[in-house]
Amino acid sequence: MANHDFVLRNSGLIEHNDKLSEKSKKRLRKSKAENTLRAYEADWLDFYDWCTHLGFQALPAEPETIVNYMNDLADNAKANTVSRRLSAISENHKAGGYQDDNPCRSGLVRNALDAIKREKGTIQRGKAPLLFEDLRDIASCFDTADIAGIRDKAIILTGFMGAFRRSELVKINVEDLAFTREGVIVLVHQSKGDQEGQGEYVAIPYNTDPGVCAVTALKHWLEQARLNSGPLFRPLNKYKKVRDRRLSDKSVALIVKKYAGLAGLNAEDFAGHSLRRGFATSAAQHDVDERAIMQQTRHKSEKMVRRYIEQGNLFKNNALNKMF
C-alpha cells in the first residue's frame, strides 16, 4: 500500500465501499481530528520503519512482530509512549480492514504491555502548573505600554482563567466573545473533549484585582489591536504590527516560558499546558469542589481532575503540618 501502509487517512473500508455515497465518505473522512491523525501517523511510521529495517511486514503485522517492536522501543521510551504507539498500530490495522483479527488484541501483545508497565511504571511527569500566586508575580512583568505585552497578558490570563488548552486558546475568534456585566463568555467550538463539535461555553468573571483580570486584559488587547472579527490572538511583525492570521499554539508555549522566566521561575519547567493545569491545581488549593473545577476545565472524566486535586493538596493535607 502507498504512504507507508498508513491507511487511516485513506481507509479502504470507506474509499472502496460502493454502498457509501460521496457525501457519506466525505464526512467519514473527518471522523478523527487532524491533530489525532498526525499523531497516529508519526507513531505508525516509527513502527513501519522498524519493520522495514528488520524485514518484517507491518500491515498486517504478526503479534510477535509487535511484541518485539514494543520491547525494543521500551529500552529508551516510557511505558506511556509504548502504549500510545500500540494504539496507533491498532487503529491503523482497524482502518486496514483487520477489525476482527487485529494483532494488537492478541493476549501476547497485551501481556507484553503489562510487563513493560510493571517494569517501567506509568507515572506521567508533565509540565509544572503555573499557579494563581505565580500569576501575581508575572503580572508585574507585562509591559502594557507595548502591544506585545498587552497581547501576552491577555493570552496568559485568559488561558489560565478559562482553563484552556493552548489549541483551544488560539482557535478563539473575536466573534466567540460575549462581554456581560459579570465578565466574558467564550464559545469553544471544538476541543479535545468535544470531538463532535457540539460547542461549550466558558465564563470568566471580572477579577477585583485588575492586574490579573482576564476580562480587562482582553478588552485592552481588542482595543489596542483594533480587532472586530477573525482570530483573537495574532502574531506581530517586526514593526509590532498585528498580522492578519492566527497565532500558533507553539507560540503560546513560548510566551508562557518567557514570562515564567521573567518571574524568576525555571522557564523549562513550563509550557502551554501549565495554564490549564495551573488553574485546576490552584482551584484545588483554594478548596474549590471537584464538580466546579470540571465545569471550568470541561474534563469529561474525574480521573485527571483528581490528579490535579491531589497535587494541589500535597502540602495542605500533609500530616506533618498538624505535627508541626
Numbered ranges of CATH 1.10.443.10 in the chain: 132-312
Rounded Cα distance, 176 and 166, in Å: 16
Return d(Cα 24, Cα 133) in angstroms, integer: 51
pLDDT of 301 higher than 80: no
> Quick one: pLDDT band at residue 1, thresholds 50, 70, 90?
very low
Higher pLDDT, 33 or 135: 135
Active site residue 192: yes
Q: Does domain 132-312 have CATH number 1.20.1440.230?
A: no
Q: Comparing 187-196, 225-234, 251-260, 275-284, which segment has the lowest mean pLDDT?
A: 187-196
Contacts of 9 (CB under 8 A, 6+ apart): 3, 29, 37, 41
Residue 318 has pLDDT above 80, yes or no: no
Question: 160 with 214: CB under 8 angstroms?
Answer: yes
Task: Give how far Cα 144 sits from Cα of 141, 177, 224, 276, Å.
Answer: 9, 22, 10, 23
Q: Active site includes 316?
A: no
Q: Which fold has domain 3-120?
A: DNA polymerase; domain 1 (1.10.150)
Looking at residues 129-137, what average pLDDT do you find?
93
pLDDT tens digit sequence for 305-315: 777 777 777 77
Catalytic entry in 26, 27, 136, 192: 192
Model confidence over 138-179: pLDDT tens digits?
A: 999 999 999 999 999 999 999 999 999 999 999 999 999 999
Task: Determine contact, residues 27/76, Cβ cutoff 8 Å.
Answer: no
Alpha-carbon distance values, 296 to 90, 199, 229, 313, 324 (Å): 33, 14, 25, 19, 35
Q: Quote the pTM value.
A: 0.67
Residue 255: how many CB atoms within 10 A of its CB? 22
What is residue 314's predicted lDDT score, i.e. its pLDDT?
A: 75
pLDDT at 29: 73
Q: In angstroms, rounded to a whole number, what is the distance separating the alpha carbons of residues 43 and 185?
A: 37
Among left, alpha and beta (phi > 0; psi -120 to 50; other), residue 121 is left
Set 127, 153, 166, 273: catalytic member: 273
**Catalytic-residue membership of 276:** yes
Q: What is the pLDDT of residues 289-298, one digit of tens each?
A: 888 999 999 9
Q: Is 25 a catalytic residue?
A: no
Active-site choice (85, 276, 277, 298): 276
* d(C-alpha 249, C-alpha 171), whole Å: 9
pLDDT bin (cut points 50, 70, 90) of residue 36 is confident
User: What mean pLDDT is reported for the chain?
Assistant: 89
DSSP H or E stretch at residue 152: helix 147-161
Mean pLDDT on 13-22: 81
In this prediction, residue 254 has a pLDDT band, given cuts at 50, 70 and 90, of very high
Q: Residue 197 — pLDDT band, cuts 50, 70, 90?
A: low
Which is catalytic among the residues 165, 171, 257, 298? Answer: 165
Residue 302 has pLDDT above 90, yes or no: no
Q: Which residue has the higher pLDDT, 192 or 82?
A: 82
CB atoms inside a 10 Å sphere around CB 227: 17
Annotated catalytic residue 4:
no
Active-site position among 48, 69, 259, 308: 308
pLDDT for the residue numbered 26 = 81
Q: In the predicted model, is pLDDT for residue 223 greater than 90?
A: yes
Cα–Cα distance measured from residue 232 to residue 237, given in angstroms and rounded to the nearest whole number: 16
Band of residue 270 on the pLDDT scale cut at 50, 70, 90:
very high
Concerning whether 273 is annotated as a catalytic residue, the answer is yes
Region(s) of the chain under CATH 1.10.150.130: 3-120
Q: How confident is the model at residue 125 (pLDDT cuts 50, 70, 90)?
A: low
